[in-house]
Amino acid sequence: MSVIDDEQVRDYLKEYSDFFERHPDMLDHLHISHRSGSAVSLVEKQISVLRERNVELRQRLTKLTNNAHDNDRLYELTRALVLTLLEADSLDQLAAAFSQSMRDDFNVEHASMIVFGEPTQGSGQCRIEPADGAHAKIGGLIRGRSPICGALRKQELSYLFADTGDVGSAAVVPLCNANELGVIAVGSSDANHYTSDMGTLFLEHIAEVLIRLIPRLLADDVQEEP
């Protein structure tokens, strides 16, 4: 009597994939070792696998749904901020709108907007700094003209967030068109809050709006000086 090996069984079941449909009673005779050491029937095993997959799919769906809700909320907050920024009549109003929205709407711990130019006496809420001074302190963050997230050097954080206490990590977006106009940054006391793999799409969108508004408002402020 010839012995049927595993490969022959596999080949047979592949060729006659409806075998268990034609002989459903055989499922009760098939047992698979469980992690606990006990044996379960093939049907029980299949049910267990399906349940695990169902739980996994539900978790993935919940995560996707939560992400969609978070993105919708960010979109609405960004849209509202953009409309407020467009209504600003001065750099002070622009800076105030940015800082207030970051703090109250986006729950950002620290926010900074720096415009490059010559500071004037009695400068208001908009922080204006010479470009050469900015390059001396944060030149590495500006030259690449790309957003940067993570734990920055202490000198860079001290410049970006002057008089705000300890900041552990930040997201920085240079404001650049043909010229370097300034920089915006958001920070956290948690060194792990902003990481290099974090997305900055919404912050970049806000930066694009500021890039279009700052030159006009900066020119208006210069004209109004006595």
The pLDDT value recorded for residue 57 is 84
pLDDT at 111 over 60: yes
User: Domains of the chain, with CATH numbers?
Assistant: 6-46 (no CATH), 88-224 (3.30.450.40)
Residue 100 CB burial class (10 angstroms; 0-12, 13-18, ≥19): middle
Instruction: Tell me the pLDDT band of 125, cut-offs 50, 70 and 90.
Output: confident
The rounded distance, in Å, linking the Cα atoms of 113 and 35 is: 58
Residue type, 94: L
Q: Is the separation of the CB atoms in 153 and 185 below 8 Å?
A: no
User: What's the mean pLDDT when you consider all of the chain?
Assistant: 85
Report the pLDDT averaged over residues 142-161.
92
Is the torsion defined by CA of 146, 120, 95, 189 positive or negative? positive
As a whole number, mean pLDDT of residues 187-214 equals 93
The predicted structure's pLDDT at residue 158: 93
pLDDT category, 116, cuts 50, 70, 90? very high
